[in-house]
């Protein structure tokens, strides 16, 4: 099988470097003894963090908090933004007696009516806090109580981006204007926006891209209104866009206040600026807070990425993939459209969802695992070792399948 989905954009399989790591007896205790990381971390944990997560920290961020999965990462990142926002409001004074008594019974001002601004089509996870910022599919949201938080339109761009730059810039400006309006409106409603959360490429919601300019302006709007800016790289992080973080494509040295991750990083967690550090222990806390054994794997994964220049490989494979998709959509104009991508993080739309689903099955029967996203998109999420010859192998098989749908 040729895997162009890699367990929902997570990691690959059976890499010899990881198998070797497992046979080193010095590593045994890291697997067998799972600590309560927040209170009893293993002695070598700071070193391992420096070697792994901190060695790939986004620009401007020197702190990282590990978590067990993507949802917990975002939930805790939201909490960090709420705590930061309220501390900012309080200034030097600590919580009031009313804060303390009201929070124990879920009421304000202790449990304040703060909000997180998210975007239509966004996906940030399925636990109750995350889910209030997820708007990709009905199946995720139906029947679950939620928060009245603002939802701004994510730009709906035309592809290829460079061919529609004027129209796309207009669409992005419209969305940014709406963001500012919502921030003002929710402040007036008594539910101020503590943070804005966004994916650098909306993944689950259908592989929706926006320009570097859009994200940089959005980040400025957040700062202007005193909101934290959280970039969710759970699906985009780890190298699949051709850079380690998708936000690096923006070329900003101050891209965000918080960056969350999981999947390809093997452990969940989030980076944050100094200011977003909770002011007291146990405010951001749980029993496990991640798993040092995943960190051990990550060290080795990073070694392999560096040694084998995998980010360059991804850029090369990604170029071959997107060019192949452009050719196919020219060849099958009624069937395929909107080919788009960054690195191997690519997608293409099919004329309707029923046809998309049939194509996914037929391609699988010919030995290629693909994934769907959005209403009628196919998404490509291969592992970093997906080389140019894998791309050509895939394109041939895909073409064979498409001829049946002409």
* Binding to a second copy in span 266-305, by CB under 8 A: 266, 280, 282-283, 285-288, 293, 297
Asked whether 124 and 133 are in contact (CB, 8 A), the reply is yes
Residue 141 interacting with a second copy (CB under 8 A) = yes
Q: Is 36 in the site for a second copy (CB under 8 A)?
A: yes
Q: Which of residues 50-69 bind a second copy (CB under 8 A)?
A: 68-69
Greatest pairwise CA separation for the chain in angstroms: 70
Q: Go through 237-267 and write b for each residue having 16 or more CB atoms within 10 A of its CB, e for each that does not.
A: bbbbbbbbbbbbbbebeebbbbbbbbbbbbb
Binding piece for a second copy, criterion CB under 8 A, among 20-28, 162-170, 321-329, 384-392: 20-28
Is residue 263 close enough to count as binding a second copy by CB under 8 A? yes
What distance in Å separates the CA atoms of residue 54 and residue 52, rounded to the nearest whole number? Answer: 6
Q: Report the chain's terminal Cα–Cα distance, integer Å.
A: 25
Q: Does 18 bind a second copy (CB under 8 A)?
A: yes
Stretch of 123-131, 174-182, 239-247, 325-333 lying at the interface with a second copy (CB under 8 A): 123-131
Q: How far is the CB of 316 from a second copy (least distance, A)?
A: 26
Q: Give, as ranges, the residues between 167 and 186 that touch a second copy (CB under 8 A).
A: none
Least gap, CB of 369 to a second copy (angstroms):
8
Beta bridge partners of 261: 269
Among candidates 169, 59, 67, 193, which has minimal Cα distance to 119?
193
Q: Which stretch binds a second copy (CB under 8 A): 120-128, 154-162, 242-250, 391-399?
A: 120-128
Residue in 57, 86, 173, 226 binding a second copy, rule: CB under 8 A: 86
Residue partners of 268: CB distance under 8 A and separation at least 6: 66, 67, 68, 69, 70, 71, 72, 73, 234, 260, 261, 262, 290
Q: Are 85 and 257 in contact (CB under 8 A)?
A: no
Q: Residue with structure tokens 């290629």?
A: 368
Q: Name the residue nearer to a second copy (CB basis): 169 or 278.
A: 278
195 within 8 A of 116, measured Cβ to Cβ: yes
DSSP helix/strand/coil, 272 = strand
Residue 112 in the binding site for a second copy (CB under 8 A): yes
Residues tagged active-site: 123, 232, 263, 287
Q: Between 212-224 and 165-188, two packed helices, what is the crossing angle to 10 degrees?
A: 20
Figure out which of the listed residues 2, 15, 156, 180 binds a second copy, where binding follows CB under 8 A.
Answer: 15
Among 44, 50, 63, 113, binds a second copy (CB under 8 A): 113
Of 26, 43, 92, 143, the one binding a second copy by CB under 8 A: 143
Please state the closest distance from residue 41 (CB atom) to a second copy, in A.
10
Q: What whole-number distance in Å separates Cα of residue 359 and Cα of residue 401?
A: 7
CA 270 centroid distance within chain: 11
Position among 127, 252, 303, 355 found at the interface with a second copy (CB under 8 A)? 127
- Per CB under 8 A, 145 contacts a second copy: yes
Cα distance between residue 134 and residue 126, in whole Å:
7
Query: Residue 35, interface with a second copy (CB under 8 A)?
Result: yes
Nearest approach, Cβ of residue 1 and a second copy (Å):
11
User: Minimum distance between the CB of residue 13 and a second copy, rounded to whole angstroms?
Assistant: 5
Question: What is the β-pairing status of strands 345-350 and 193-198?
Answer: unpaired
One residue of 56, 61, 78, 363 binding a second copy per CB under 8 A: 78
381, 240 in Cβ contact below 8 A?
yes
Q: Give the interface size with a second copy as a residue count (CB under 8 A).
A: 82
Calpha distance 250→213 (Å, rounded)? 7
Task: Work out how close the CB of 109 gets to a second copy at its nearest, in angstroms, rounded to a whole number.
Answer: 9
Shortest approach of a second copy to residue 82 CB, angstroms?
5
């Amino acid at each position: 099988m040729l895997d162009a989905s890699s367990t929902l954009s997570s990691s690959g399989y059976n890499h010899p470097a990881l198998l070797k790591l497992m046979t080193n007896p010095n590593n045994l205790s890291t697997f067998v003894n799972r600590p309560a990381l927040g209170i009893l971390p293993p002695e070598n944990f700071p070193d391992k963090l420096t070697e792994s997560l901190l060695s790939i920290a986004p620009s401007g961020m020197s702190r990282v908090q590990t978590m067990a999965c993507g949802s917990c990462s975002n939930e805790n990142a939201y909490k960090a933004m709420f705590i930061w926002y309220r501390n900012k409001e309080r200034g030097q004074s600590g919580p009031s007696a009313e804060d303390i008594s009201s929070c124990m019974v879920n009421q304000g001002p202790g449990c304040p009516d703060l909000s997180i601004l998210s975007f239509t089509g966004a996906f940030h996870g399925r636990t109750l806090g995350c889910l209030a910022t997820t708007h990709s599919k009905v199946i995720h949201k139906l029947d679950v109580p939620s928060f009245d938080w603002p939802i701004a339109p994510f730009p709906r761009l035309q592809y290829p981006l460079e061919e529609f730059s004027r129209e796309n810039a207009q669409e992005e400006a419209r969305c940014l204007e709406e963001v500012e309006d919502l921030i003002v409106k929710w402040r007036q409603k008594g539910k101020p926006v503590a943070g804005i959360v966004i994916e650098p490429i909306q993944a689950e919601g259908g592989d929706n891209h926006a320009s570097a300019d859009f994200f940089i302006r959005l980040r400025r709007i957040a700062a202007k209104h005193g909101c934290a800016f959280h970039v969710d790289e759970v699906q985009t992080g780890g190298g699949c866009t051709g850079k380690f973080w998708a936000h690096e494509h923006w070329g900003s040295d101050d891209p965000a206040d918080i960056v969350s991750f999981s999947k390809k990083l093997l452990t969940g967690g989030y980076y944050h600026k100094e200011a977003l550090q909770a002011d007291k222990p146990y405010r951001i806390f749980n029993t496990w807070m991640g798993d040092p054994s995943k960190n051990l794997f990550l060290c080795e994964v990073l070694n392999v990425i560096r040694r084998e220049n995998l980010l360059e490989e991804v850029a090369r494979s990604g170029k071959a993939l997107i060019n192949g998709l452009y050719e196919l959509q020219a060849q099958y104009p009624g069937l395929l459209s909107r080919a788009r991508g960054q690195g191997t993080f690519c997608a293409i739309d099919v004329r309707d969802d029923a046809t998309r689903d049939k194509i996914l099955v037929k391609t699988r029967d010919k030995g290629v695992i693909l994934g769907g996203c959005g209403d009628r998109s196919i998404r490509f999420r291969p592992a970093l070792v997906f080389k140019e010859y894998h791309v050509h192998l895939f394109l041939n098989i895909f073409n064979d399948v498409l001829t049946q749908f002409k």
